[in-house]
Amino acid sequence: MPVIFGNATMRQTLESARVERARGVAVLTQDMPSIETGIVLLEMLGSDTKVPIVLRVQGRALSTA
């Protein structure tokens, strides 16, 4: 499994990680960067993707939203 160091909210970082070939993606950062990364992933993979995307969000109100 490759480990990529960079800003995960940037499309080029996710492209270097080759997420388009992933079977699943786990984003384990702070709340807002996780959400921002999830948005970029959906833009890249398409909203109808079959790839599971898991985001770590600890804020109760934010995770409910």
Element at 50 (helix H, strand E): none
Query: Does this model's pTM top 0.75?
Result: yes
Distance (Å, rounded) from C-alpha 58 to C-alpha 63?
A: 7
Q: Read off the pLDDT of residues 3-62 as tens digits, 9 standing for 90 and up.
A: 788 999 999 999 999 999 999 999 988 889 999 999 999 999 998 999 999 998 888 887
Distance (Å, rounded) from C-alpha 65 to C-alpha 11?
A: 24
Residue tagged 């709340």 (tokens):
31
Predicted confidence (pLDDT) at residue 1 exceeds the cutoff of 80: no
